[in-house]
Amino acid sequence: MQDAIAIRDLVVDRGGRRVLSGINATVPYGTVTGLLGPSGSGKTTLLRALVGVQVVTAGTVTVLNHPAGAPQLRHRVGYLTQAPSVYADLTVRENARYFAALQGRSAAQADQAVTDVGLRTAAGQLVATLSGGQRSRASLACALVGEPELLVLDEPTVGQDPVLRAELWARFHAMAAAGTTLLISSHVMDEAARCDQLLLIREGRLIANDTPAAVRAATGVDDLEEAFLRMIKVNEAGTAGREAS
Amino acid sequence: MNPRILAATTGRILRQLRHDRRTVALLVVVPAALLTVVYYMYVDQPAPPGQPAPFDRIALVLLGFFPFIIMFLVTSIAMLRERTSGTLERLLTTPLGKLDLLFGYGIAFGLAAVVQAAVAAAVAYWLLDLETAGSSGLVILIAAVNAVLAVALGLLCSAFARTEFQAVQFMPVVVAPQLLLCGLFVPRGEMAGWLQAVSDVLPLSYSVEALQEIGSSAEATATMWRDLAIVGGAAVLALVLAAATLRRRSG
């Protein structure tokens, strides 16, 4: 079976600066894949390339067997932007119902998505009056409402309290078990352990594309943050070696 | 375009407007209040021989102008908010077509302009004794088409604005020349040739001419319908250009 996402030699320049330099990666169907890397490493740019809103300098991005951004994908891919992209002057329910209508889903399905992110009691509240964490969950509800085959989530758990964060991760895994593919970015390494697959990026380069177990085995350490640091060192030594020779 | 998505988008924009009670109040009250000011400015001015009273002449043009100015501003800011809040980026990953979004704005703010123009016209005709030979319904129709033109130009200009400051600066650029050269201050036929030529390519000149036709003729004239078609055509052209400047992919 082919992969849900296949990225080949992806290069992206933004504002005259190389943000992604030659990314090669795959994401299998029905997994929760974590895209991890420090702030400014190119995570958001990679996700934007996947949903087809990023101008790409070189390389190909294939999503569900179509080129990223193809019209056929627009009801099969859900995208959560990093900053909550919902209408502040609408209620949570109105936002969810609007994005549901765009995907041909019913108002009842929209209300269910609002309940799923734990905002049932705040459904009638204007988004402008919500807390930061609630606002990003309102935004998440609008990404979930179309029941897409691929969910691209840019830092969905930032600003959520630990209980909610655990609930959200449980929901993500339940969705993956039901066949949805999820790609979730985070700059918090302790979330890496919750993923089936990891994509580690730093300064626009992919450092690892493997399972957490394989990353641990390759580096010989249990802590994924420590493992990530070791991989960076190995990677930099390799780059320096190539440049010197 | 998809009728379901267009309807959902129009409804969403109207819902946003409805939640903003202060904006709704300003939209409805301000034109009527300004017309009242104009009424008292001209109340003692005699009518030139063979011409309509000054208030009738000016109020008629203003009824078409208010929706143009206000809807241009409202649209520029609304579209800029879509860009800066990330909702536009998200919308462009959904099945929504560019024209669904642009026509959604055109229809929603066009409807708001009809309400605004109807209130302003009601005040002008019933309280301020505005007299026109033609029907007030046609005045509201032209006001609505002006508003759609303003929405289309606002959508187009918002593509060239990165910030609210820039967006607001487009208002004098787009609105002021059309106000100065539309024939309200100096009849178009009496302007210098090059000013006339500029005036000829500005759509508002035609909507002012259409309003003046309503002012002087009991029945809708062929000139009025032609002018209305020109303004409508300019609105469609601006919407198409706005669609061309709206890119799914950005750098």
Q: Span B30-41, mean pLDDT?
A: 93
Chain A closest CA to B251's CA: distance in Å?
Answer: 5
Residues of A with CB below 8 A from B250's CB?
53-55
Chain B closest CA to A245's CA: distance in Å?
Answer: 35
| Partner-chain contact B87 A14, CB within 8 Å | no
In A113-152, the residues whose Cβ lies within 8 Å of chain B are 126, 142, 146
Give yes or no for residue B54 having a pLDDT over 70. Answer: yes
Q: Are A70 and B93 in contact (CB under 8 A)?
A: no
Residues of B with CB below 8 A from A84's CB?
86
Tell me the H-state helices in chain A: 43-51, 92-102, 107-116, 132-144, 162-177, 212-219, 224-244
- Distance (Å, rounded) from C-alpha A232 to C-alpha B196? 69
Q: Span B234-240, mean pLDDT?
A: 93
- Band (pLDDT 50/70/90 cuts) for residue A240 is low
Percent of chain A exceeding pLDDT 90 equals 67
| Partner-chain contact B85 A98, CB within 8 Å | no
B163 has a chain A CB within 8 A of its CB? no
For residue range B5-25, what is the model confidence (pLDDT) as tens digits? 999 999 999 999 999 999 999
Question: What is the predicted ipTM?
Answer: 0.89
B92 has a chain A CB within 8 A of its CB? yes
| Partner-chain contact B251 A75, CB within 8 Å | no
Q: Span A187-201, mean pLDDT?
A: 88
Residue A80 phi, psi (nearest 5): -110, 115
Chain B closest CA to A36's CA: distance in Å?
Answer: 22
Percent of chain A exceeding pLDDT 70 equals 97
A74 has a chain B CB within 8 A of its CB? yes
B216 has a chain A CB within 8 A of its CB? no
A102 has a chain B CB within 8 A of its CB? yes
- Distance (Å, rounded) from C-alpha A130 to C-alpha A182? 26
For residue range A211-221, what is the model confidence (pLDDT) as tens digits? 999 988 888 88
Chain A closest CA to B121's CA: distance in Å?
Answer: 30
Chain A closest CA to B120's CA: distance in Å?
Answer: 27
Instruction: Calculate the average pLDDT of chain B.
Output: 92
- Band (pLDDT 50/70/90 cuts) for residue A189 is confident
Q: Which residue has the tokens 């062929």?
A: B222
Give yes or no for residue A244 having a pLDDT over 80. Answer: no
- Band (pLDDT 50/70/90 cuts) for residue A72 is very high
B18 has a chain A CB within 8 A of its CB? no
Query: From the candidates B10, B19, B21, B90, which should be mutated to test the interface with A, based on the most A CB atoms within 10 A?
Result: B90
B16 has a chain A CB within 8 A of its CB? yes
- What is the pLDDT, as a whole number, of residue A2? 75
For residue range B137-182, what is the model confidence (pLDDT) as tens digits? 999 999 999 999 999 999 999 888 888 889 889 989 999 999 999 9
Give yes or no for residue A161 having a pLDDT over 90. Answer: no
The set of residues, in sequence order, having a beta carbon less than 8 Å from that of B176 and lying 6+ positions away, is: none
Q: Identify the bridge partners of residue A150 per DSSP, sorted by sequence position.
A: A77, A181
Which DSSP helix (H) or strand (E) runs through B36?
Answer: helix B21-42
Residues of A with CB below 8 A from B90's CB?
79, 81, 85, 142
- What is the pLDDT, as a whole number, of residue A241? 63
- Distance (Å, rounded) from C-alpha A229 to C-alpha A225? 6
- Distant-in-sequence contacts of B232-237, Cβ < 8 A, 24+ apart: B232/B145, B232/B148, B232/B149, B234/B149, B234/B152, B234/B203, B235/B106, B235/B145, B235/B148, B235/B149, B235/B151, B235/B152, B235/B203, B236/B152, B237/B152
| Partner-chain contact A103 B89, CB within 8 Å | no
B5 has a chain A CB within 8 A of its CB? yes
The set of residues, in sequence order, having a beta carbon less than 8 Å from that of B143 and lying 6+ positions away, is: B63, B64, B66, B67, B113, B114, B116, B117, B120, B121
pTM of the full predicted structure?
0.90
Chain A closest CA to B241's CA: distance in Å?
Answer: 20
- What is the pLDDT, as a whole number, of residue A242? 64
For residue range A139-148, what is the model confidence (pLDDT) as tens digits? 999 999 999 9
B90 has a chain A CB within 8 A of its CB? yes
Give yes or no for residue A57 having a pLDDT over 80. Answer: yes
For residue range A12-47, what is the model confidence (pLDDT) as tens digits? 999 889 999 999 999 999 999 999 988 889 999 999
